[in-house]
Amino acid sequence: MKQTSSKIERFNRGLVIWGVLTALSPLHAGAVTQQIRAAFKPDPANPQHNTFTNTTPVSGFCLDNPSQCQALNLFSLRLPIRSESNATIRAGHTNERSGAMFNIPSQWQSIIVTHPTAPPQEVKFRVAGMGVSYRLPKPAPELTDGAGHDYLFEGGIWRYAGPPCTGLSGAGDDMGFNSFWRHPVGAGTCAKKAMFDIPQPFKYETFDITYELMTPNPLQMVSGQYTGQHAFSVGPNRDFDLGDVMVADDNVIVFDFLLDVQHALKVDIPPGGDKVRLVPSGGWQNWLQAGRRPERLFRDQLFHISTSSRFKMLLDCRISGFDGLIEDPVSRRSIKLKIYVSMPDGITDHTGNPVKELLLRAGPSYGRIMQPGHYVERQPGVLHFEIAPHEMSQMLQPGVASRYSGDVTVIWDSEA
């Protein structure tokens, strides 16, 4: 029995998923782009962890307020977008579009990511919050007759978000204030009414967001890169709607996704395990001393497997056929060699059943699909080699010496 070491045997290869917003598409020239990264890599210390980890570098509000964000499992990204008022925001305005308002794409969006050879996958994405640092044209006490930021907007300081949003504690000085608002799914508009006139230029000097990502099951994905793209518009009545008064200096945000998957598939066979000697139950004494033909010849060979992805098993036989063959070079007789495999718990066949003494066949079209339900780390499996009883009369004849041998390659193929 041989193991292969080329593209077919991927014992030492792995599959890691990264979500990346990459280069700007020519369709959105001049737009703002943002990278989003998520990673999956099998963890021997936590084999049941089969989800992606967000690895996008934090920037913006949560970089400045790490403890507050960590307590809420929140992170932020700062986009290079600034906004400025095109008119005075009037005290007590009745139309929310005439003041500070945010309607962002907080509902789930479906994004398709594609692979060069594998079926496409669906990613769910939503913007789950937004924060800005506003800048006043005059100090807050001067605009509010000495009251300050606490009374500039209805409902209190900027951290008290307009419902249904909820705000995080922020910081500021007389000229401005920074905070972050979390948006529930499908929140719609969150707004704050000005209690005093805010003349031009009123500015949002930052544009921070957070997002949520629902990714496919990485164990169902193959190695390689999955890519996709989604663009959001910025402006009145668009995806990111800041009302009619605040004008952003960019009107498109592009998200480019790149998912890189690295699975583990490693098979270890004990030293000497590549040479399989078939023997009868109880040894050869009955045949040698009494001429009693064995009922069968067999050998069980232990191996250890680590895997986090689907793979297939098949045979490659030097002598062609669906089964492996061994041959006596003198008589030129060939005998079929049956090879079965049993997998450890956690690995099933394509129907979801445990793999117990599953017959392996030769040829790519006869590959047996195996699927781990979680990361399996160095668990024992068995290759069972057997000469069936009906072959024994041809193989062993009294007074006739023979020596059967052959080469059969057992393949674990990660490109299932």
Is 139 found in the same domain as 213? yes
Is 303 found in the same domain as 203? no
Is 241 found in the same domain as 207? yes
Tokens matching residue 379: 């668990």
Structural contact between residues 375 and 308, judged by C-beta atoms closer than 8 angstroms: yes
Structural contact between residues 301 and 340, judged by C-beta atoms closer than 8 angstroms: no
Is 293 found in the same domain as 226? no
Is 222 found in the same domain as 322? no
Q: 262, 285, 319 — which closes off a domain?
A: 262
> Is residue 241, in this structure, part of any structural domain at all?
yes
376/66 Cα distance (integer angstroms): 35
366/315 Cα distance (integer angstroms): 9
Give the global pTM.
0.73
Question: Length of the chain in residues, anyone?
Answer: 416
159/166 Cα distance (integer angstroms): 8
Alpha helices in 258-350 (DSSP H): 285-290
107/152 Cα distance (integer angstroms): 30
Tokens 């009107």 appear where? 251
Is 199 found in the same domain as 51? yes
Is 280 found in the same domain as 311? yes
Tokens 């996704």 appear where? 257
Tell me the residue range of the domain where 243 lies. 15-262
Is 400 found in the same domain as 300? yes
Which CATH number does the domain housing residue 303 bear?
A: 2.60.40
Is 277 found in the same domain as 249? no
> Is residue 357, in this structure, part of any structural domain at all?
yes
Is 38 found in the same domain as 70? yes
> Is residue 3, in this structure, part of any structural domain at all?
no
* Structural domains in the chain (count): 2
Is 127 found in the same domain as 276? no
Is 367 found in the same domain as 244? no
C-alpha to C-alpha distances, 94 to 98, 135, 191, 242, 360, nearest whole angstrom: 8, 23, 11, 16, 75
358/343 Cα distance (integer angstroms): 9
Q: What is the per-residue pLDDT for 287?
A: 63
> Is residue 5, in this structure, part of any structural domain at all?
no
Structural contact between residues 410 and 370, judged by C-beta atoms closer than 8 angstroms: no
pLDDT values of the chain reduced to their tens digit, one per residue, 416 residues = 444 333 333 322 222 223 223 233 334 446 899 988 888 888 777 777 788 888 888 999 999 889 888 888 888 999 999 999 999 999 999 999 999 999 999 999 999 998 998 899 999 999 999 999 999 999 999 999 998 999 999 999 999 999 999 999 888 899 999 999 999 999 999 999 999 999 999 999 999 999 998 999 888 888 778 889 999 999 999 999 999 999 999 999 999 888 888 888 889 999 988 888 888 876 776 666 556 777 788 899 999 999 988 899 999 886 656 677 888 888 888 888 899 999 999 999 989 999 999 999 988 888 999 999 888 988 999 999 998 888 877 777 666 667 888 888 899 988 76
